[in-house]
Structure 1
Amino acid sequence: PVQYFRDFFDAELLETISKQSNLYCAQESPNSALKLDPSELEQFIGTVMYISVIHLPRLRMYWSNDCRIRQVADVVSRDRFEEITKFLHFNDNNNMAANSRDKLFKIRPIVDSLLQKFQAIPQDQMLFIGEQIVPFKGRSSLKQYMPKKPHRWGYKIYVLCDTKGLVHSFDIFTGRTAPERGEPDIGPTGNIVLKLAQAVQRADDHLLYFDHWFSSLDLLAALAKKGIPALGTVQLNQLQGCCFSTNSDMKKKGRGTFEEKKVVFDGAELRAVKWFDSKGVIIASNFPGAHSVSRVKRWDKKLKHNVFVTCPSIISLYHKFLGGVHALNAQIASCRIQVRSKKYYHRFFFHFVDMVVVNSWLLYQRDCDSLDVPKKEWKDLLAFRTSVAQALCMQFNENSSVKREPPSPDGEREVRSDAVGHWPMTGSERQRCKFNKCKGQSVYKCSKCGIHLCLNKHNNCFIEFHNR
C-alpha cells in the first residue's frame, strides 16, 4: 500500500516540503533550526494518519500517561510534533509579492505536483464533475458559507472523478472563475466544467456527468464542439425555447410518462427529456436521448407492492453512474485528518493527504481486480490507511525520537502497589530501567504497568518499584 501513496507524495515533493519548512523556520526563528528531512516528514505524515484513525478529544492526549498511543508517541515526541506542525510550509514567503494575484501561492507546489499525477491516471469511461467541501471555520478569504451542505463553512473544491471517487483533476475555488485561454466565457459554473474537461483523455471515449448547478445549453454545446458526450440534470428556466408539460399534467398520465425535445443551440443538436416518477426530472444531453426505453422497479403506496414503470435510457444512464464525488466525500469523511490549525494551507495539506490515500486505495483495488485477487483478500480503506501509516512511521531518521516507554507518574502509585497482576515478562527489546536513579538496561517489563525494570541477581528494581 505505501508504494501507491509514494507515487503521489514522491521524493521530490517531500524534499520540497522539507526545504520550505526549514526555510520558514529560519525566517521566523533565526536562532533555531528545524532540521526536517523527507524521512522525518514521512514519519510525521504517518503519525497524522494514525491520529485520524484513533480519535482522542485533545492532541496532547496521544502522549499523556493515561491515554498514551504508542503508534504516535513512540515515533515522534510531543514537542517535536508541535514544532513540525508550527513550521510546516510549502512555498517561500519572499516570493509572495511577485505572485500577489495567486491566492493559492502558499499551497501552489502541492497543487501543481498532485494535479500532474492525478491527470496521468488512466480513466474509466464514466466521469463525474461535482464539488466537495473542506471543513474550516478559521479566518480566510477563501472560506465559503454553504447552508445546505453538511459542513456549512469551508473551502470549495471542484473535482473531476470517476463513479467510484477516483480523482483525475480538481480546481480550488478562489472567488472568481475566469475562462481558460481559448475557451468561451459561458459563466462561472460552465467555465469550471470546461477547465476540468481539459484533463479528459480521448474525449470521445468518455461520458461526462454533472448536476443542474453546472448544466446549461451553452455548456452542452461547448462540450459537443470538443467531442465530449455529456449529460446532466437541468432546471426548466435553463432551457430557452423548450417547453414541457407541467408536473400536474404528467401526473394525470401516470408514473413513467416522459417527453423528449430537440434543441439546436449554437450549431449543436441537443436533447432534453422530462420524466415523471414521484416528481418531474429533466435531463439534457448532447447525444441521442430517449430512443430506447427500459423498465424500473418502484414502490406503489396505494397498492403496497413494487410495480414496474417505463424509464428512458438516458434517465437510467444518469442514475446508474451518478455520485462519484459523493463516494469520494464519504471515503474521506470516514477517517478525516483533524489536526487543528489556524493556517488555511495546513487544512488543504491534510485534505490532500486524505485525498491521496483514497486515490491510492482505489488504484490498489483496480489492480487487485485486474490481477484476479480474491475479494476476501482485499484491504478495506481503514486497513489500507493503517498499513500506509505503519510503513511511513517505520522510516529511520537520525533526528527522530527514539522509541521509549512512558515514565512512571506519581499518580499511578495506587496501581503499581495494588499487588494484582504485576508479572514480569520479556519485552521485544532492551530498554533503560524506569526506576528512579537506576541507569541499567533490562529486557524485562511489567505486564500491567508496561514499563521496563531491572530483574537480575544484582538489581531487583521490579520488586522495589511495586513496593514503593
Structure 2
Amino acid sequence: MARRYTAQETLDYLLHSSENEESREPDDTSDAEEDCTEADPHFEITEEQNSDEDSEEESPEEDPNFLSKNGEILWSLSPSPQTPGRARAEEIIRKTPGPTRYACSRAEDIKSTFELYFPRSIQNILVRMTNLEGRRVFRDQWSDIDWMTMEAFIGLLILAGVFKSHDEATRSLWHGEMGRAIFRANMPLKDFERLSSVVRFDDKSTRAARRETDKLAPIRELWEKWVERLPMMYNPDMNVTVDECLIGFRGRCPFKQYMPSKPAKYGLKIWAACDAKSSYSYNMQVYTGKPPGTQHERNLGKRVVLELIRDLEGHIVTCDNFFTSYGLGTELLQRKVRMIGTVRKNKPELPSALVTKKNRTCFSSLFAFTETHTIVSYCPKKRKNVILMSTAHKDAAISEREDRKPTMILDYNSTKGGVDNLDKIFRFSDQLTLAEIQRKRQKEDHSHPSLLAEANGNATEAQSDMALILSEIKANGSRLEGITNRLEGIAGSVSSLQNLFTALTERIEGIETRLTEAEGRISSAEDSAAVSEGQLANLLTKVEQLQSKVDDLENRGRRKNLRIVGLPEGAEGSGPLASFLHSEMVDLPADSLTLDIERAHRSPSFAPSNTNSAPRSVLVRFLRFTEKEIVLKAALKKARSFGFT
C-alpha cells in the first residue's frame, strides 16, 4: 500500500527539501524584534473548532495547486520561474530619495524652511479669514492684523510647545516674575487672547452650506494647500508605509474617533503615507467618517492607498490587513508599485489550505504563488498562524534564525513602523533635517548682485550695443535714416533709465543711512529707559521708607493727646480752657508731677446751635506722655469709687 504524505511533507518534497520540519515548542523568551504576529486591531478572526491534539488524522494526497475560496484564483505551491534580465518597471524609482532640489535651493534657515510649508497662499488665508472674524466679533474695536503679527502668534504657540506648557495657564506665561520674558516681549497677553478667540481658516458665513457635503469644511482649503506642499519637499525611499495615526483631541468634533489601541484613545484619525526610513509624511488624508446621506463605503482601504501613493513609482508599500487585498496588489502593479502586508483570514482570495491551522508545526511556513502575488502562512506557535501577501517577493526564502521566519515577514517588520514613528516626530524636533538639506546644497559661494546694480550694468551694456549698431547702420546710407532715429531714441531711453536707476540707488542709500541713525537713537532711548526704570525703583523704595517714618512720627505725636467727653458747653467760662482744666482736673496723687498742658480746644470749633445737643469733646495735649497716663489712672480710680467698672 502506497504511503500517504502529509501536506507539510508534500511541500518539503516539492521544494527539494531534504529535511523534514520537526515539531518544536515555542520559546518562552520573547523575541526582541517587533513581530508582525502581535495582536493587530484590524484582525477579525473567527475561531474555528480545534481538533483534539492527541488525535491523528490521515490527510489525502494534496494537489500542487490551491483554489481560492471564491474559486477565481489558482494558487501554486511552486514559484513562477524567474529569468534574469533587466529590472522590471515596478522596481525602478524615478525620483532620487531625500530632500528635493526645490527644497534644497530654498531652505537657508529655520524661517525659510518654515515658509516652504506655509507659502503666501496659506498666509493670505490665515490673515484674511482672521481679520474677517475679528471685524465680525469686535466690530469697530478690531484693527486688522498682518502676516508679521500672525507669525508672532504662531511662534508663541510653537514656543509654548517647546516649553511643554500644555497644562500651564496662559496668564502664567506672561507673569512678570514667574513667566517668560520672550512672551511679554513679542505680544501683550490681551492681544494674544483676543487673537486666539478669532483665528479662523475659512469664512464662517458660508461654512454651513459647505459643511452639508464636507465635514472638514472649516479647514478644507488650508489643509489641501498644506498637503500639496509635502511631496514638493521630500522624495521617499523605496519603502513607504501606509497606516492610520491619531491626533489626540477631546473637544467637540463631528468626526472624532475612539481608538483604544492608540495612546491618545480619542482624537482625529488621519490616513498617512510615510517614508519607512525617515517617517516623513508624504501624503495625508483626514478621515471624516461616512459622508452624509451615503451608504457604507466598500473597499475603503483600497481607495485610501491608491489616493495616498498616486504619484509614486518603483516603491514598495507596506500596509496592515485593513488595506491589503489581492485587488489592491494588482492595481498597484499597474501603477508600477509593489505591496507587502498582512491579510485577514476571511478574504475570499485566500486558499483554505493556508488559512487552516490543523496539523501545522511551530515555526513552519506554507507558501503559495501566482504570477504576480506571493502569500505565506507562518505559524509562530501552535494553533496560531499569520498570513502575509506580497507582490515584491517571488520566492519561498526563509531566514536562518531559530524561529525560521520567512524573509517576507522580516521585511514587513522592518518597514511597518513608518507611521507609528510619526507621533514621535510630532513631539521632538528633528534637527538633522535642515542640516541634511544644507549638506545637499552646492558648496560654491554664489554671489548674487543687487537688482539695481544688475539693472545698471545691463543698461550700460545695452547702451554700448546700441551705439555700435547705430554706427553700423549709418554706414549703410540714408535709406536707414529712419531706423537710425528710432535707435537713437532707444539709446536715449536707456540713458534715462540708467539715470533713474542711479537716482534710486542714491535714494535707497540715504534711506539706509537714516534707518541706521534711527536704530541708534532707539537703542539709546531703550538704554536711557532702562536706567530710568532703575532710578524710579530706588525712588519708590525711599518714598516707602519716608512714609513709614512719617506714620511713626504721627503715632508718637498722638500719644500725649487726651479726649474728654461730656464736659458741658461753657463750663470753662470766659477764661482759657487749659486753665480751667488745670484747676478742675481730677484728684491726683500727692507725689504726682505738676501737670503741663500745651493746648486744649473743643472739636469741632463751632458750637452746636441746639442747646439739647451733646456737648463737644475736648482735646487736650499734655507736655509729657506720663502726665496723660497719670490723669487716666486717676480718672479710672475715681470712676470705680462711684461704682463704675
Out of 183, 188, 202, the position equivalent to 1:91 is 202
User: Residue 289 of structure 1 contacts residue 314 of structure 1 at CA under 8 Å; is this kept in 2?
Assistant: no
2:245 aligned partner: 132
Q: Percent identity?
A: 21
Residue 20 of structure 1 aligns to a residue whose secondary structure is helix
Q: Which amino acid aligns with 1:276?
A: C
1:189 and 1:362, CA in 2 relative to 1: closer, same or farther beyond 3 A? farther
Aligned counterparts of 1:371 and 1:24: Cα–Cα separation in 2 = 42
Out of 66, 71, 76, the position equivalent to 2:187 is 76
Q: Does 1:453 align with 2:534?
A: yes
Q: Does 1:464 align with 2:542?
A: yes
Q: Which amino acid aligns with 2:202?
A: N
1:262 aligned partner: 369
- Pairing of 1:117-196 with structure 2 (within 5 A): 117-121=229-233, 122-163=235-276, 164-176=278-290, 187-196=299-308
Larger proportion of strand: 1
Aligned counterparts of 1:210 and 1:258: Cα–Cα separation in 2 = 21
Q: Does 1:441 align with 2:529?
A: yes
1:286 aligned partner: 391
Q: Return the offset for 1:81.
A: 0.7
User: Residue 367 of structure 2 contacts residue 396 of structure 2 at CA under 8 Å; is this kept in 1?
Assistant: no
Structure 1 residue runs without a partner (length 5+): 179-184, 297-307, 335-356, 374-427, 433-439, 445-451
1:362 and 1:98, CA in 2 relative to 1: closer, same or farther beyond 3 A? farther
1:274 and 1:192, CA in 2 relative to 1: closer, same or farther beyond 3 A? same
Q: Which amino acid aligns with 2:123?
A: L
The structure 1 segments of at least 4 consecutive aligned residues displaced by more than 6 Å after TM superposition are 465-468
User: Residue 130 of structure 1 contacts residue 160 of structure 1 at CA under 8 Å; is this kept in 2?
Assistant: yes
Q: Return the offset for 1:18.
A: 0.6
1:244 aligned partner: 354
Aligned counterparts of 1:28 and 1:442: Cα–Cα separation in 2 = 38
Aligned counterparts of 2:283 and 2:301: Cα–Cα separation in 1 = 16
1:383 aligned partner: none
Aligned counterparts of 2:388 and 2:130: Cα–Cα separation in 1 = 49
**How many residues are treated as equivalent by the alignment?**
346
1:116 aligned partner: 228
Calculate the TM-score normalised by the size of structure 1: 0.66
RCO higher in structure (CA 8 A, sep ≥6): 1
- Pairing of 1:12-27 with structure 2 (within 5 A): 12-27=121-136
1:4 and 1:171, CA in 2 relative to 1: closer, same or farther beyond 3 A? same
Q: Does 1:272 align with 2:363?
A: no
Q: Which amino acid aligns with 2:535?
A: C
2:422 aligned partner: 328
Q: Return the offset for 1:39.
A: 0.7
Aligned counterparts of 2:544 and 2:271: Cα–Cα separation in 1 = 60
Q: Return the offset for 1:208.
A: 0.8
Residue 157 of structure 1 aligns to a residue whose secondary structure is strand
Q: Which amino acid aligns with 1:170?
A: M
Q: Which amino acid aligns with 1:150?
A: P
Between stretches 70-79 and 361-370, larger displacement belongs to 361-370
Deviations 1:87-145 (A, max 9, x none): 10111123335523122121122212112111223232111111111211122211111
2:137 aligned partner: 28
Aligned counterparts of 1:371 and 1:11: Cα–Cα separation in 2 = 24
Q: Which amino acid aligns with 2:386?
A: V
1:369 and 1:211, CA in 2 relative to 1: closer, same or farther beyond 3 A? farther
Deviations 1:264-315 (A, max 9, x none): xxxx73211122335633210123344433334xxxxxxxxxxx44332222
Deviations 1:233-276 (A, max 9, x none): 112222534132655744x3x43x2111125xxxx732111223
Out of 89, 96, 112, the position equivalent to 1:3 is 112
User: Residue 217 of structure 1 contacts residue 239 of structure 1 at CA under 8 Å; is this kept in 2?
Assistant: no
Structure 2 residue runs without a partner (length 5+): 1-109, 444-522, 547-645
Aligned counterparts of 1:151 and 1:69: Cα–Cα separation in 2 = 29
Residue 405 of structure 2 aligns to a residue whose secondary structure is strand
Deviations 1:38-61 (A, max 9, x none): 011111111111111113421221
Q: Which amino acid aligns with 1:367?
A: I
User: Residue 215 of structure 1 contacts residue 232 of structure 1 at CA under 8 Å; is this kept in 2?
Assistant: yes
1:281 and 1:9, CA in 2 relative to 1: closer, same or farther beyond 3 A? same
Aligned counterparts of 1:309 and 1:282: Cα–Cα separation in 2 = 16
User: Residue 398 of structure 2 contacts residue 404 of structure 2 at CA under 8 Å; is this kept in 1?
Assistant: yes
User: Residue 50 of structure 1 contacts residue 71 of structure 1 at CA under 8 Å; is this kept in 2?
Assistant: no
Calculate the TM-score normalised by the size of structure 2: 0.49
Q: Return the offset for 1:66.
A: 4.2
Q: Return the offset for 1:369.
A: 6.1
Aligned counterparts of 1:213 and 1:34: Cα–Cα separation in 2 = 50
